[in-house]
Chains A and B, each alone.
Chain A
Amino acid sequence: MSHEADALTVKTCLGVYAALVCLTAITVGAAFIDMSFLNTPVALGIASVKALLVMYFFMELRHSNRLTWVLMGSSGVFLLIMIMLTMSDMLSRGWLGYPGK
């Protein structure tokens, strides 16, 4: 199981780490700028990029088989289903006036 040729090299690790630290600094900086409705998407966007970096490099998703990708993807999909369908109720309350304002 040891594939020395494509094993994670120290260099990539450090590179990814540097990128993660930079992104953290950027997201903190961006938090102090008022971008009206864009603040939340930017913060979550940066967080998602960081998450993908961690998963792709540190968690070796780049060397994983398709099943692992499907698993990770499906957990995201089901989490989104839970949040979005719950929000579909919370946000549309009162659209019709009644009931459940």
Chain B
Amino acid sequence: MAVPAIDTTLAPHTEVPAKPRKTYLNADYSVSSWLLTVDHKRIAVLYLISIIIFFALGGMFAAGVRLELLTPKGDLLQADTYNKFFTMHGIIMVFFFLVPSIPATLGNFLVPMMIGARDLAFPRVNLLSWYIYILGGAFTLAAVIGGGVDTGWTFYTPYSSTYSTSNVMPAAIGIFITGFSSILTGLNFIVTIHRMRAPGLTWFRLPLFIWAHYATSLIFVLGTPVIAITIFLVGLERALHIGIFDPALGGDPVLFQHLFWFYSHPAVYIMILPGMGVVSEIITCFARKPIFGYSFIALSSVAIAVLGFIVWGHHLFTSSESVYAALIFSVLSFVVAIPSAVKVFNWVATLYRGAISFEAPMLYALGFIGLFTIGGLTGLFLAAVGFDLHVHDTYFVVAHFHYIMVGGAVLAFLGGLHFWWPKMFGRMYPEAAAKAAAVIVFIGFNLTFFPQFILGYLGMPRRYHAYPDEFQVLNVLSTAGASILAVGYLMPFCYLLWSLKYGAVASSNPWQASGLEWLTPSPPPTENFAETPIVTQDPYHYGTDDDAEAVHVA
């Protein structure tokens, strides 16, 4: 029943050797061995710790926002404080959690292992990217400690460049710097995937996780420099009063929006594509069945990455963009919906005639599909120009992108973390608690964000500190949901930490998954593989071959 996934020259792993096996975790215990490591697995752990700290911070700001919105009057926080809270929530969650979340942690850990390499192509660049991330984070934290930023994470000019009196500069510098950590990660992944694959591992034998990370890396490299230069120009305008975007100085604020969204729309795909890769791995593993439509899922990742660059104008429908440009961007936005839909259909089809079990990672993956479907469908609402005029900048948009980013990216992150946790740390987490947490997150999420769709259509604008009375009931529902969601987030944090010491020892392949990363012991040794594996088969070699009729399922 446990089908050996891929033939390799690797010797069958020996369980429980007499003295503790050397792993990347116990190779050295000194602080410098962590802070100066060039091992992609250790860097992944460093990233994991840092992004969780930022996630907690961003979550606290979100809690402040939701608590303020319990009542229509602005009574808990001052207007300024509230504005800083949602701004810091956005900046931290987008730039310091969501963008690096899966690529820098799971991606860093798994990309070399999945392709049978000993490390990323440029290990020192990898470490550098973490330090750059921390440096950027330090600037942003300095902005928080120094009194916060109140521009919204979008930094729209001329408010950000001329009018805001808050700490725009340190936050902008922080984002500018952090951009380079993304660029270096993307560069490293692209080169690694091109040049370091194990013998026999052709492009169409790559796991879908790798395809997703390849597509993500393309966006990192092509998009991130544009936000860097745009933020740089905002900083220049703010510091030196030279006009680039401020109309009082001859500039055009809409140009800022174009440049900003040229990155920030593809950035949405940076957040969701790795999640799609994770879900593809989990679904096929727990259905014990090859993925349905492998090449369509693989190529749709690349299609999303490329098409994602030509739809940014749909953020500008009400920004005095020309009617013709709005129509062009609208039709292109509908086109980019298709590859996402194709993925969803293929995941569902993968379940057909599978042998499905429902461990925690699978629950997260199924939740992802459901929530991403709603997020994607409401994206169609927003892409329809005439409709967008009503709901643009309302809670409808807020709900939509949280369905993609939290319902999508965060659920995938949690699912992936559970799925590969035994591999990363060699310990099993308590399954019952993990299942409960997955269900709680799902319920809490929907209760938080579904009411916001209704609020948005009713016309409640986003970033409102106080609001008319008739919106209160839905806001209370949303805040209630957020508190459930918070419990759902705290649970994995606790039991995963607990499992590091008390969890059952994990075997090298607890899920009986295919894929090269499961061939090495858990946790893996520093060099990943004792010998370079040789790949002779397609990925996801699950299932039985006995029924020819199944192939013609259509």
Q: Which residue of B lies closest to A75 (CB)?
A: B222
Contact status B320-A100, CB under 8 Å: yes
Interface segment out of the listed B35-43, B321-329, B416-424 = B321-329
By the criterion of a CB under 8 Å from any partner CB, how many residues of chain B are at the interface? 22
Among B194, B262, B329, the residue within 8 A (CB) of A82 is B262
Query: Is residue B205 contacting chain A, with contact meaning CB distance below 8 A?
Result: no
A90 to B324, CA, bound (A): 10
A91 to B254, CA, bound (A): 13
Contact status A92-B324, CB under 8 Å: yes
| Least distance between B440 CB and chain A CB atoms (Å) | 42
Contact status B262-A89, CB under 8 Å: no
Query: Is residue A95 contacting chain B, with contact meaning CB distance below 8 A?
Result: yes
Contact status B255-A81, CB under 8 Å: no
The answer to whether residues A88 and B320 also contact, given A81-B309, A82-B262 and a CB cut-off of 8 A, is no
Query: Is residue B6 contacting chain A, with contact meaning CB distance below 8 A?
Result: no
Chain A 69-82 interface mask (CB, 8 Å, partner B; 1/0): 00000110010011
Contact status A99-B320, CB under 8 Å: yes
A3 to B174, CA, bound (A): 45
Contact status B258-A88, CB under 8 Å: no
Query: Is residue B67 contacting chain A, with contact meaning CB distance below 8 A?
Result: no
Contact status B309-A100, CB under 8 Å: no
Chain B 179-192 interface mask (CB, 8 Å, partner A; 1/0): 00000000000000
Contact status A85-B313, CB under 8 Å: yes
Chain A 18-57 interface mask (CB, 8 Å, partner B; 1/0): 0000000000000000000000000000000000000000
By the criterion of a CB under 8 Å from any partner CB, how many residues of chain A are at the interface? 19
A74 to B306, CA, bound (A): 10
The answer to whether residues A89 and B310 also contact, given A82-B262, A100-B320 and a CB cut-off of 8 A, is no
Query: Is residue B316 contacting chain A, with contact meaning CB distance below 8 A?
Result: yes
Query: Is residue B226 contacting chain A, with contact meaning CB distance below 8 A?
Result: yes
B251-301 contacts to A (CB < 8 Å)? 252, 254-255, 258-259, 262
Among B258, B324, B328, the residue within 8 A (CB) of A95 is B324
Contact status A78-B309, CB under 8 Å: yes
- Residues of chain A contacted by B222 (CB below 8 angstroms): 74-75, 78
Most buried by B among A78, A94, A95: A78
| Least distance between B245 CB and chain A CB atoms (Å) | 13
| Least distance between A28 CB and chain B CB atoms (Å) | 28
Query: Is residue A67 contacting chain B, with contact meaning CB distance below 8 A?
Result: yes
| Least distance between A66 CB and chain B CB atoms (Å) | 12
Query: Is residue A62 contacting chain B, with contact meaning CB distance below 8 A?
Result: no
Contact status B322-A85, CB under 8 Å: no
B190-220 contacts to A (CB < 8 Å)? 194
Contact status A81-B310, CB under 8 Å: yes
A88 to B327, CA, bound (A): 11
- Residues of chain B contacted by A86 (CB below 8 angstroms): 255, 258-259, 262
B310-362 contacts to A (CB < 8 Å)? 310, 312-313, 316, 320-325, 328-329
Q: Which residue of B lies closest to A78 (CB)?
A: B222
Query: Is residue A1 contacting chain B, with contact meaning CB distance below 8 A?
Result: no
- Residues of chain B contacted by A14 (CB below 8 angstroms): none
A91 to B259, CA, bound (A): 16
The answer to whether residues A82 and B226 also contact, given A89-B254, A89-B313 and a CB cut-off of 8 A, is yes
A20 to B222, CA, bound (A): 29
Contact status B323-A96, CB under 8 Å: yes
Contact status B258-A93, CB under 8 Å: no
A30 to B329, CA, bound (A): 38
- Residues of chain B contacted by A85 (CB below 8 angstroms): 310, 312-313, 325, 328-329
Most buried by A among B258, B259, B329: B258
Among A88, A93, A96, the residue within 8 A (CB) of B328 is A88
Among A74, A78, A88, the residue within 8 A (CB) of B325 is A88
The answer to whether residues A89 and B322 also contact, given A67-B194, A78-B222, A82-B262 and a CB cut-off of 8 A, is yes
| Least distance between B328 CB and chain A CB atoms (Å) | 6
Among B194, B226, B258, B309, the residue within 8 A (CB) of A89 is B258
- Residues of chain B contacted by A95 (CB below 8 angstroms): 322-324
Contact status B258-A94, CB under 8 Å: no
Binding site for B on A (CB under 8 A): 67, 74-75, 78, 81-82, 85-86, 88-96, 99-100
Q: A86-B259, A96-B322 are in contact. List 11 more A-B contacts (CB 8 A).
A: A78-B222, A78-B309, A81-B309, A81-B310, A89-B254, A89-B316, A89-B321, A90-B252, A96-B323, A99-B320, A100-B320
Q: What are 12 A-B residue pairs whose CB atoms fall within 8 Å in the complex?
A: A67-B194, A78-B309, A81-B309, A81-B310, A85-B312, A85-B329, A86-B262, A89-B325, A92-B324, A99-B320, A100-B320, A100-B323
Nearest first, the 4 closest Cβ-Cβ pairs linking A and B are A100-B320, A89-B325, A92-B324, A92-B322
